[in-house]
Amino acid sequence: MSPRRSFQRAGEEARRAALISATLDLIAEGGPAAATVRAIAARADVTPGLIRHYFATKEDLVAAAHESLMTGLTEAATARLDELTDNPRARLRDFIVASVSPPVTEPRAMALWAASMQLVPRDAAMRRVHEATYLAFRDRLAGLIADALHAAGRSTDTATLRAHAIAGNALLDGLWIEAAAIPDHFSEIDLPELALSAFSRLLNLPLED
């Protein structure tokens, strides 16, 4: 007499979110190999069969998890912007600082990001998600740069603006990646200050406090 386990119904949205969260947790802790359908189900406190009910294949679930991760990182850098002053230069400065500060620079985020990047070259769905989220972040940065330069009375043709956004994005990416990879080594370095200083020279626009 094995009693069938009781359960509660949850909305589709909540269940998908729970499965995605469980997937990210497992990948962060033990890499992609640890994110098996059975482990994911256990972490989300459901049975493995339910995964197939919401995601046709495990690949779909992983892709959805990647999208959730990337948009989450972008939002982490963007979140404080809305509550900020309307001073364009301060907004850009805050965006830069947030991009090289926790939670973005936490090792967990880096491990997840690396796991995703590893799939990008050969998984079309992952590549599409990555490109979309990359461009979303870059466009956001481009807008902030344009506003800051304009407020300083500088003209900005689109080609130059795009180059600034690409380089600035690359700078922020490289900084948070290394800071997350070897936190001990960067603990004694004021990363926000370094980022602001480099950005100031990149745009020829003072950003430091």
Partner DNA sequence: CCAACAATTATACGTTTGTATAATTAAGGA
Partner DNA sequence: TCCTTAATTATACAAACGTATAATTGTTGG
Contact residues for DNA, defined by CB under 7 A: 2, 4-10, 12, 15, 35-39, 46-53, 57-59
Pick from DNA, a second copy, none: which does 86 bind, CB < 5 to 8 A by kind?
Answer: none
If one counts every other C-beta atom within 10 angstroms of the C-beta of residue 36, the result is 14
50/172 with CB nearer DNA: 50
**What DSSP state is assigned to residue 6?**
P
Question: Contact positions toward a second copy, by CB under 8 A?
Answer: 29-33, 107-108, 110-111, 114-115, 117-122, 127, 130-131, 134, 163, 166-167, 169-175, 177-178, 180-182, 185, 189, 194-195, 197-198, 201-204
Q: What is the nearest approach in angstroms of DNA to the Cβ of residue 45? A: 7
Q: Residue 190 Cβ, how far from a second copy at the closest point, in Å? A: 10
Residue number with CB closer to DNA (46 or 180): 46
SS3 assignment for 150-162:
HHCCCCCCHHHHH
Query: Would you say 2 or 85 has its CB closer to DNA?
Result: 2
Return d(Cα 96, Cα 166) in angstroms, integer.
14
Please choose which of a second copy, DNA, none residue 114 contacts, taking the beta carbon within 5 to 8 angstroms, the exact cut-off set by kind.
Answer: a second copy
Shortest CB 50 distance to a second copy, Å? 24
Residue pair 93/196 in contact by the 8 Å Cβ criterion: yes
Q: Is the separation of the CB atoms in 37 and 48 below 8 Å?
A: yes
The Cα–Cα gap between 151 and 132 comes to: 29
Residue 19 contact partner, candidates a second copy, DNA, none, CB within 5 to 8 A by sort of partner: none
Residue 83's SS3 state is coil
**Nearer Cβ to a second copy (20/129):** 129
CB of 200 to a second copy, least distance (A): 10
Instruction: Go through the chain and tell me how many residues it has.
Output: 209
CB atoms inside a 10 Å sphere around CB 102: 13
Q: Are 37 and 51 in contact (CB under 8 A)?
A: yes
Whose Cβ is closer to DNA: residue 15's or residue 138's?
15
